[in-house]
Chains A and B, each alone.
Chain A
Amino acid sequence: MEAVTITLNGVEVSGYAGTTILDLARESGVYIPTLCHDPNLASTGACRLCLVEDERNGALLASCVAAISPGMTINTNSPRVVEHRKRILELILASHPDSCLVCDKGNRCQLRKLAAEMGVGLIQLQKIPQNDVIEEVNPFIERDLSKCVMCGKCIRVDQELVVEGAIDYIHRGTMVRAATLNDMPLEKSECTFCGACVAICPTGAIMEKERVYTGTATNTVTTICPYCGCGCTICLGTKDNQIVEARPAVDSPVSRGALCVRGSYGYDFIHSPERLTQPLIKVDGEFQEATWEEALSRVAEGLGQIKKDHGADALAVFGSSKCTNEENYVLQRFARGVLGTNNIDNGSRLYSAASRTGLGASIGYAGTTGSLDALERSRVIMVIGANPEISAPAVAYAIKRAVRFKEAKLIVIDPRNTPLTQFASLWLRPGIGTDVALLNGLARVIIDEKRLDVEFVTRMTDNFTGWTKSLQNYTAGYVEDVTGIAKKDVQAAARLLAGAEEASIVYGNGITQHTSGTDAVVAIANLAMLTGNAGRRGGIFALQRENNAHGACDMGALPGFLPGYQSVDEAENRQRFEEHWGGSLPTAAGLSALEMMKAAGLGKVKGMLIMGENPVASFPQPALIRKALSSLDFLVVTDMFPTETVKLASVVLSAASFAEKEGTFTNFEGRVQRLHQAIEPVGESLPDLEILLRLAEVTGSKMPYDSHQDVMEEIEDMVPFYRHVAYADTDSMGLDWGDVEGSSPGTRRLHKGLFPSGFGRFSPVEYTSPQDVATDGYPLTLMAGSGRYHFGAGSRSSRSARLSKFSPAALLEISGADAAELGIGDGDAIKITSAQGELSTTTKVSNSLPRGLLFMPISYPDSPVYELFGTVLDPQAKGPALKTCAVRLERTDGNG
């Protein structure tokens, strides 16, 4: 691109052609006031406050939209410019109330800031009467359009970043304002309460509502959102050791300027009155408050006694995909080095074990191959078994932006009508559990029509011929019979995927939580390699439910792997850690999460340490889990809340929340991001890391770490692909992965199509008829998944006042056809029965479901949907099938 030189306030500066005057000025350190400009949004030049003068001809230009051209002589502060800016500001103020004294926006109001800067006081112009406050009942956002300055930022952020389109202008001239369709309140519109408009509004027109603690933030700390696997950067505003707001960080590479409702408004669980503020010891069935010394020595004693009496393998440790990398690393060191057992696993077993196993076998790397940027650049995106709008909103935003603004084509493969289907070029609705057949069928069409990436397949993969043979049966006709998708649609999808310069495949729990989950993941990897999209360009995007699922596994909170997926079976791997830690490590692989529970039930495991997980709510068959945990001789749980699991504990260690600690989280892309402490731990709670280090000390095996930083340094040493993380760098959010990849051979990403073992491997996978769908006596298939307003097992989101207020109960969604057939209406009380259990709830008729399929959100402690699920495991990944099960419905009397 050509460089253009202009004179800016008497100094010659150059920029690329197409750069706006504003961008060049900011680069050069020249201040120009703006109101409607935002770096993440397209500029519209609506407010005109960024006027500058071209001294050659006296033209006044809106610098946010005027591009530089050769010879321009720009003055950003000429008397004429200043006079015009003042006049414009006065006109804006003429239609803005003088209610600053009582406006909660306070000093964060950009209008007020600009007025102060320019010396504009109360103005003499006749006031233009404005619209009133809009009556709304949602607990998140309130709109007072009398304060609106029509900068249009809320509309643009909604349409350009979040791509929801809930609001746009309505009417014109003096009547114009931002409104939803038919000017309804937000809760009756398509609004998802992501809060992007609240964060971007320069005035008090759109504000956060029903805050737990009011007042203006006196300090802002940048940290990472603790909910889903996206790992958005959030700025926590604090005051008086309380979190008063959460805002998106505009320069976050993950979220840019937008969060979701959980990120923006779900933080209030931190100040829930239910927080555990002190360690508790159970004495005669009652919890008694204890000091840390008492509690920790009780834990050391309890675990030590079991180890002494029954051996180390009578102990089991359950780590958390919500805790930091450092905590999980120290936890597994504690399990292996101090307790002496490999019985360690983490919560991600329940939703992403299949992903880890399948991808590990195919591409040799257990995670997503590209960054969100790569996803957004893709020409074709295939989303299968995932509803990222709910489970990973930042991913959904990227996909929608690719489709709406970059002309990418979207293929959605989902029996449900998800919010993404309206953006899709092709929407396929396969029968539940038939993904493997469909994926194999797609591969077969691509091979038959010679649309594969021959070069990539020859150079980068092996076992192609062997795998091709296994596809013989998967003709388009057979696939149509099995999946119910018309031949021509299968072919169209295959052609679209294979024809793209860059294609990406996004999958989630709809794939991994089936019994055939690992096979389906392998089939996805096969398809990606076949089309040359495994890392070199495009990629495979494995969504993770929880914030640090990736990290917990990387850190070796797994029964078969030391940190960095180094198998415990190999003496060489163990030796490295033994040398570092001293002492010897257990040799045989330990028990996985569900095996631990089973062993506990059988009395083989007698003591357990659970860090930040709630298996009673998150595992299938809660009744059995409760029984298993109750039968333990000794159970220690660290948690923030008195969860169902905590109630069964012998000792409870009160843990600090994400806002109260330091450390790192690894998001679904594999991006290692730094947490920063915003407030002091609530009560006497402690960060899990501190708890573990103190516990190790009490057991007489003090670990040589003084801080999370020491732990991270050891991780960088011991885990090959964390080597480049260079602790200091995780601070800067704009860490350039490209540089890292270029310089280090042990890179953690596969961007350049370099498989860790040199080759990607095609593995044949066969379709087997699903076991987790409707059968005799249970004619309907129930699907369980995340809801927008709650999260995971609900331990945190159900304690967020606003989230629970807006979405207090789980409803069973049923298709119109099934509802009519069964004589069920909206809001009827019903009983769901499966072979395993039953659950009472109320219905909601939904047109997003096909006949025969029901949907029920997880995460509502009062409606434990997992009661209905069995403990059928994916044979390879040992994760339970928690996506679907067979049920029948009965109407019960009530509010019919």
Chain B
Amino acid sequence: MVKQKKAPKVNLKQIEKIIAGYRGQRWPLIPMVEEIQEKVGYIPPESIPVIANALGLFTSQVQAVITFYEQLYTEPRGRNIVRVCRGTACHVRGGKTILKLVRQHLGIEEGETTEDMEYTLETVACIGVCALAPNIMFNQETHGDMNPKKVARLFEKSGKE
């Protein structure tokens, strides 16, 4: 796969295809935007009028729902999502330092995405494996007992120096 240097252009055609499956009803707003996010990676703001029109909702209403839910995003996200746990157990075991290291490695703050669209950094409140604290989730994988070395290795492995 050729790595893109910039955010991909919004493919409204693809989105319209997804929307077509739901047209004419009002209830499927959430499943629809989830499907868009799954396939496109996020919900492009440009698609809000199209969604609203298809479901007979106001554009502002669609935005209200999307911005209400934390798991719905209106900005492009990186190919990899890094979630650093900031729960109590992880905090006690140095989660704060782990977060600082990850920030240094990626050169971005929480909630941001690297310019090459490779990583998005987020924090979470707890991922439920406190016994392994401090924890990081790298996409769907959980990495426990994190320390500076392991953080470095994690990002080397995935292509970042």
- Interface window among B6-14, B55-63, B87-95, B98-106: B55-63
A170's contact among B56, B57, B67, by CB below 8 Å, is which?
B67
The answer to whether B68 and A180 have CB atoms under 8 Å apart is: no
A172 nearest CB neighbor, chain B only: B68
Question: In angstroms, how far is the closest chain A Cβ from the Cβ of B3?
Answer: 30
Stretch at the interface among A14-22, A141-149, A161-169, A565-573: A161-169
Interface check B28, CB cutoff 8 A:
no
Q: Which residue of B lies closest to A173 (CB)?
A: B68
Partner of A181, one of B53, B56, B60, B68: B60
Is the beta-carbon distance between A170 and B63 smaller than 8 angstroms?
Answer: yes
* B48 beta carbon closer than 8 Å to chain A: yes
Question: How close is A419's CB to chain B, nearest CB, in angstroms?
Answer: 12
B64 an interface residue at 8 Å Cβ cutoff? Answer: yes
**Min CB distance, B123 to chain A, in Å?**
16
**Known contacts A181-B48, A422-B53; A167/B60 CB under 8 A:** yes
Q: Quick one: given A182-B45, A422-B53, are A169 and B59 in contact (CB under 8 Å)?
A: no
Residue of B nearest to A169 (CB): B64
Could you say which of A165, A170, A171, A172 contacts B58, with CB atoms under 8 Å apart?
Answer: A165
In the complex, what residues of B have CB within 8 A of residue A165's CB? 57-61
The size of the chain B interface, using a CB distance under 8 A, is 14
Find the B residue at minimum CB distance from A164: B58
Selected contact of A159 from candidates B48, B49, B58, B67, CB within 8 Å: B58
Which chain B residues in 29-86 approach chain A with CB under 8 Å?
A: 45, 48-49, 53, 56-61, 63-64, 67-68
Inter-chain contact A168/B63, CB cutoff 8 Å: yes
Interface size class of A (residues with CB under 8 A): 10 to 19
B53: which A residues are within 8 A, CB to CB?
A: 422
A67 at the interface (CB under 8 A from B): no
Q: Determine which of B48, B56, B68 lies in contact with A171 in the assembled complex, contact meaning CB atoms within 8 Å.
A: B68
Q: Are A169 and B45 in contact (CB under 8 A)?
A: no
Q: Which residues of A contact B59 (CB under 8 A)?
A: 165, 181, 190
Report whether B60 and A168 are in contact in the complex, using a CB–CB cutoff of 8 Å: yes
Contacts of A171 in B (CB 8 A): 67-68
A182→B63 contact, CB < 8 A: yes
Contacts of B49 in A (CB 8 A): 181
A161 CB → nearest B CB, Å: 13
| Separation of A181 and B59 alpha carbons in the complex (Å) | 6
- Given the complex, which residues of A lie within 8 Å of B68, measured CB to CB? 169, 171-172
- Tell whether A172 pairs with B45 under 8 Å between CB atoms, given A165-B59, A181-B59: no
Residue A179 at the chain B interface, CB threshold 8 Å = yes
Inter-chain CA distance A422–B59, complex, in Å, is 12
Contacts of A423 in B (CB 8 A): 56
Complex Cα spacing A193 to B48, Å:
22
In the complex the two chains form, what is the Cα distance from A264 to B59 in whole Å? Answer: 25
Nearest Cβ on chain A to B38's Cβ, whole angstroms: 22
Chain B residue at minimal CB-CB distance from A178: B60
CA distance A423 to B58 in the complex (A): 11
Task: Select B63's contact among A159, A164, A181, beta carbons within 8 Å.
Answer: A181
B60 close to A180 (CB less than 8 A): yes
| B48, closest chain A residue (CB) | A181
Pick the contact of B61: A159, A172, A182, A422 (CB < 8 A): A159
Complex: chain A residue closest to B52, CB-CB: A165
Residues of B within 8 A of A164 (CB): 58
Q: Contact: A168 with B45, CB < 8 Å? A: no
Distance from B53 Cβ to chain A, minimum over Cβ atoms (Å): 6
Minimum CB distance partner of B68 in chain A:
A172
CA distance A168 to B45 in the complex (A): 15
Distance between B10 CB and nearest chain A CB, rounded to angstroms: 14
Docked pose: A168 CA to B58 CA in angstroms? 9
CA distance A296 to B34 in the complex (A): 75
Binding site for B on A (CB under 8 A): 159, 164-172, 179-182, 190, 404, 422-423
Can you identify 12 A-B contacts, CB atoms within 8 angstroms?
Answer: A165-B57, A165-B60, A166-B60, A168-B58, A168-B60, A168-B63, A170-B67, A171-B68, A180-B60, A181-B60, A182-B45, A182-B63
Task: For the complex of A and B, list the 10 residue pairs with the smallest distance between their C-beta atoms, beginning with the closest.
Answer: A165-B58, A168-B60, A168-B64, A181-B59, A169-B64, A172-B68, A171-B67, A170-B67, A168-B61, A165-B60
